[in-house]
Amino acid sequence: MKLMRYIVIAVFFVAPLFVNAQVTTIVTDTSKHNPIVNDTSKHAPVVVFIPPPPVPDSNIHVYQTATIKNMDQKIYDYQRYSHCTSPGFRVQVDFSQERNSINNTKSNFSLKYPSTPSYITYKQPYFRLSAGDFRTRLEAVSFLNKVKKDYPGAFLVADKIAPPPLQ
């Protein structure tokens, strides 16, 4: 087994030395079954091994200016937001099995907080009123503390939000 290993190692180290050598080709004539040797040189046949390509450098460094980084980030954000949803947070104000109750709560909420969008969703068996489009939990908790005064049952939920426009 060790002898085979040494032969293989020797072939891989010696073979690149013969890359430019001419090779004798042997072609079999099918009608006579006699090998025909096309000798292109006076040397004995040589088997040529092509070494594998070098391994690419895995330490690739990209240097770019701040302008390009900002542009890349804006393109990434636009592509992520182009589907009209983004991961974020909302404050769930109320939930009920009756649609009229939720519609009344939404109209009261819109009067108290006109600048905050509110949404009614239905997940069986409840209608849910959630408000706001907050990117971070900190923004959502800040708004939740304001809303808790008027709606003590309000709580924070992770949801898909409508993204704000790009600036």
Whether the model clears a pTM of 0.75, i.e. scores above it, the answer is no
Q: Does residue 91 share a domain with residue 157?
A: yes
Domain assignment present for residue 69? The answer is no
The pLDDT of residue 23: 44
The pLDDT of residue 74: 81
The pLDDT of residue 28: 44
Q: Please list the pLDDT of the chain residue by residue as tens digits (167 residues).
A: 555 555 655 555 555 555 444 444 444 444 444 444 455 555 555 566 666 776 666 677 777 788 877 887 887 777 666 666 778 899 999 999 999 999 999 999 999 999 999 999 999 999 999 999 998 899 999 999 999 999 999 999 999 888 665 54
Domain assignment present for residue 122? The answer is yes
**Which long-range contacts does 16-22 make (Cβ < 8 Å, 24+ apart)?**
16/49, 16/51, 18/46, 18/48, 19/48, 19/50, 21/46, 21/48, 22/46
Domain assignment present for residue 92? The answer is yes
Q: Does residue 147 share a domain with residue 90?
A: yes
Residue type, 119: Y
**Residue listed under structure tokens 């849910």:** 128
What is the span of the domain harbouring residue 9? 2-38
In terms of Cβ atoms closer than 10 Å to its own Cβ (0-12, 13-18, 19+), residue 132 is buried
Q: Does residue 156 share a domain with residue 90?
A: yes
Number of folded domains that form the chain = 2
Domain assignment present for residue 27? The answer is yes
Q: Does residue 88 share a domain with residue 34?
A: no
The pLDDT of residue 86: 78
Q: Give the CATH number of the domain where residue 103 resides.
A: 3.30.70.1070
